[in-house]
Chains A and B, each alone.
Chain A
Amino acid sequence: MKDPSSAISRRKALLLALQGAGALVMAGCENIFNQLHGNERVLSILESTEGLNRRVQRFLTGRDSLAQEFSEKEISRYFKPNGNPPPLTNEYIQDALNGWPIWRLEVAGLVNNPRQFSLDDLKSLPSRTQITRHDCVEGWSAIARWKGVPLSEVLKRVQPKAEARYVIFLCLDSDRAGNLYYESLDLYDATHPQTILAYEMNNQLLPIEHGAPLRLRVETQLGYKMAKYILGLELVASYREIAGGKGGYWQDQGYAWYAGI
């Protein structure tokens, strides 16, 4: 007669062997994908869909469609402040406490009329208020009420030159390694009616963790495009010469420049 315990241990051994083989296959797959992902050519092939996404999506959506606007009661109770920590230098804190008398938005680069705007200057320009949904690349969404000056109103006053293609947003915040946050939009998104430089959130002055005194809202794209702690705008023909050359802080770390998806 067969010893039942040996049958059980054989079954166990077989199961263990199967598990081991499974783990090996999975680890092999993981290695293959990690290696493929480390290969620049593979990455650039994968990246090739970014331009396709941008062209197809903009073709489908057209120029003037507006993002959905929500009602007061749909405003989020919690809105996660994401990204780099606030730039809490002495000057910044002092200026914030005094209501931003020193802060200026400097607009330069390929413009006919470079100039500086104080916060009061910006508030005296036409404003737009919108209750919109913020979609983070991580997957969450939050709704808030934003008030600010449409970026197109600012651009109108500085008159971009014909060769200007991008607006670069120069910001105060940086990561732990000291890399400054910056971002860029092409004029297509920069002049969208809901693209605003916001100075108010939920009927209050923009809170520090959300980018005081001035942040970008661009409702056609994901949150990582929305520069906070803005200090300057620069109009350029190309962003290749700036920082990592990919058009933004997150882009230099591998995120897509086009964040409409």
Chain B
Amino acid sequence: MMKSPTYRHNRITRLTHWINALALVILFMSGLQIFNAFPHLHWGSKAEPEEAFFSIIATNEEGEIKGFVQIYGWSVETTGILGVQNTERGPSPRAFPSWITIPGYFWLAGGRRWHFFFAWVFVLNGLLYFVYNMASGHLRRLLITPKELLRVPSMVLHYLFLRRESPQHGEYNPLQKLAYTAVVFLLTPLIILSGLALSPQMDVAFNWLPAMFGGRQAARTFHFLATFLFLLFTFGHVLMVLAKGPINNMRSIITGWHTQKIPDLAEPGLSQAVVEKATDDDRAITETKIRLADGEGKQVKEGIKNEGS
């Protein structure tokens, strides 16, 4: 094994990554502010009070205020976190606490302004990322193929220390590709469409929009659930960055440069990986790498060594 710095993330990817991170944080926090105005979830078109399957509530029994989360008749006390927040002036009813909402006080109109502004940022920024990286071919390397789908279980086993060799070929492993593909092609459309289905004006033109979720209230539920799938992905993403070299990974998403451990050239599939790695970057670097990769195996090895020194 040897180490070699490679140019991993192009400028557009790095820029859109950080704009996206900011937009997601603000959309999440302002979304919880909006949710607080009606902290119940329903299926179907309408919200009959007794038909909520999920609620965050506050009860007041003889002056003692308690918070509860209710899911399908199952109830758990969450005083201090959900339903009731401890403030300087004592416990106060509030579904999600002030420190996780924008603005920090209860103000639905304000939350909506942040949410709609950053919804545009999220969508336009996502489009820029998608179109640029589709055209440059970068995205193709992130998307999972049916063949790799079969390797996902062995990747899971590898992460669980139950399998010694990683089934990874090339830059991204099958589990990583599965996660990215699901986020780009399933989760992102889901959260955009379910959000648009909440708009009465959109529903006027596209009756199928709320209908595809089973009604507007169900669309609201899907919008909420998709939020937490994004949160789950973000946790996994940050966890992997921390586990797999936080400094190296942070450097690569800020400067573009990533130190890659290169397995011995005798291993199959490597020369192709090098060609791929070279395609989407600055002109000069790309040319060098392509030339090197075009030659025989020995030349490639020397080329990488030179770049590393």
The residues of A with any CB-CB pair to B shorter than 8 Å are 23, 26-27, 29-31, 33-34, 37, 43, 45-50, 52-53, 57-58, 60-62, 65-68, 70, 74, 76-78, 133, 135-143, 219-222, 250, 253-256, 259-261
Q: Tell me whether A139 and B45 are in contact (CB under 8 A).
A: no
Q: Which residues of B contact A221 (CB under 8 A)?
A: 200-201
* Binary A-proximity of B177-201 (CB < 8 A = 1, otherwise 0): 0000000000000000000001111
Task: Please determine whether A45 and B46 come into contact, CB atoms closer than 8 angstroms.
Answer: no
B117 at the interface (CB under 8 A from A): yes
What are the residues of chain A within 8 A of B199 when measuring CB–CB? 57, 260-261
Q: Mark B106-117, 1 if CB is under 8 A from A, else 0.
A: 011110111011
1/0 per residue, CB under 8 A from A, across B16-31: the answer is: 0000000000000100
Closest B residue to A69 by beta carbon equals B207
A143 and B46 contact, Cβ closer than 8 Å, known pairs A33-B29, A46-B117, A254-B109: yes
Contacts of B104 in A (CB 8 A): 30-31, 33-34
Contact B99 A78, beta carbon cutoff 8 Å: no
Contacting residue for B207 out of A43, A50, A68, A220, CB 8 A: A68
Do A138 and B46 have beta carbons less than 8 Å apart? no
Q: B296 in the interface, Cβ–Cβ < 8 Å?
A: no
Q: List the A residue with the shortest CB-CB distance to B111.
A: A37
Tell which of B99, B112, B113, B216 touches A26, judged by Cβ atoms closer than 8 Å.
B99
**Identity of the chain A residue whose Cβ is nearest the Cβ of B34 in the assembled complex:** A139
Question: Which of A77, A137, A259 is in CB contact (< 8 Å) with B37?
Answer: A137
Query: Beta-carbon contacts of B63-106 to A below 8 Å, as 1s and 0s?
Result: 00000000000000000000000000000000000111011110
Q: Give every chain B residue within 8 A of A48 (Cβ-Cβ).
A: 117
Contact in complex: B113, A47 (CB < 8 Å): yes
13 more A-B residue pairs beyond the given contacts A37-B107, A139-B37, A221-B201, with a C-beta to C-beta distance below 8 A: A46-B116, A53-B116, A60-B202, A60-B205, A61-B206, A68-B203, A77-B48, A140-B47, A141-B216, A254-B109, A256-B109, A260-B202, A261-B201
> Which of B46, B49, B202, B211 touches A74 (beta carbons < 8 Å)?
B46
State A47–B40 Cα separation when bound (angstroms).
Answer: 27
Query: In the complex, what distance in Å separates the CA atom of A143 from the CA atom of B105?
Result: 31
Given A30-B98, A261-B199, also A139-B204 (CB < 8 A): no
Q: Could you show 28 A-B contacts with beta carbons less than 8 Å apart?
A: A37-B110, A37-B114, A46-B117, A49-B113, A49-B120, A57-B201, A57-B202, A60-B202, A61-B204, A61-B206, A68-B207, A74-B46, A77-B48, A133-B46, A135-B198, A135-B200, A138-B108, A140-B46, A141-B45, A141-B47, A142-B46, A219-B200, A220-B200, A250-B109, A253-B109, A255-B109, A256-B112, A261-B200
Measured CB to CB, the closest approach of chain B to A39, in angstroms, equals 11
Q: Which of B38, B113, B200 has the most CB of A within 10 A?
A: B200
Shortest CB distance B217–A (Å): 6
Interface centre among B103, B206, B210 (most CB of A within 10 A): B103
The chain A residue with its CB closest to the CB of B30 is A33
Q: B230: CB under 8 A from chain A?
A: no
Task: State whether the Cβ of B8 lies closer than 8 Å to any Cβ in chain A.
Answer: no
B289 within 8 A of A: no
Which residues of A sit under 8 angstroms from B217, Cβ to Cβ?
140-141
A46: chain B residues at CB < 8 Å are 113-114, 116-117
Partner pick for A34 among B48, B103, B204, B210, CB 8 A cutoff: B103
Alpha-carbon distance A67/B199, docked complex (angstroms): 11
> Within 8 Å of chain A (Cβ to Cβ): is B277?
no
Q: Most chain-B Cβ atoms within 10 A of its Cβ — which of A30, A58, A222? A: A30
Determine the chain B residues whose CB is within 8 A of the CB of A255 once the complex forms: 109, 112
> Of A70, A138, A143, which is within 8 A of B38 by CB?
A138
B100 partner residues in chain A, CB cutoff 8 A: 26
Bound-complex Cα distance A48 to B46 (A): 31
Q: Which B residues between 107 and 141 are near A, CB-CB below 8 angstroms?
A: 107-110, 112-114, 116-117, 120
CB of B9 closer than 8 Å to a CB of A: no
Nearest chain-B residue to A136 (Cβ)? B38
Query: Which residue from chain A places its CB closest to the CB of B120 in the assembled complex?
Result: A49
- Which single residue of chain B is at the shortest CB-CB distance from A45? B117
Residue B220 is within 8 A (CB to CB) of chain A in the complex: yes
Do residues B204 and A137 form an inter-chain contact, with CB atoms below 8 A?
no
Q: Is the CB of A33 within 8 A of B200?
A: no
- Tell whether A67 pairs with B108 under 8 Å between CB atoms, given A27-B99, A76-B48, A261-B116: no
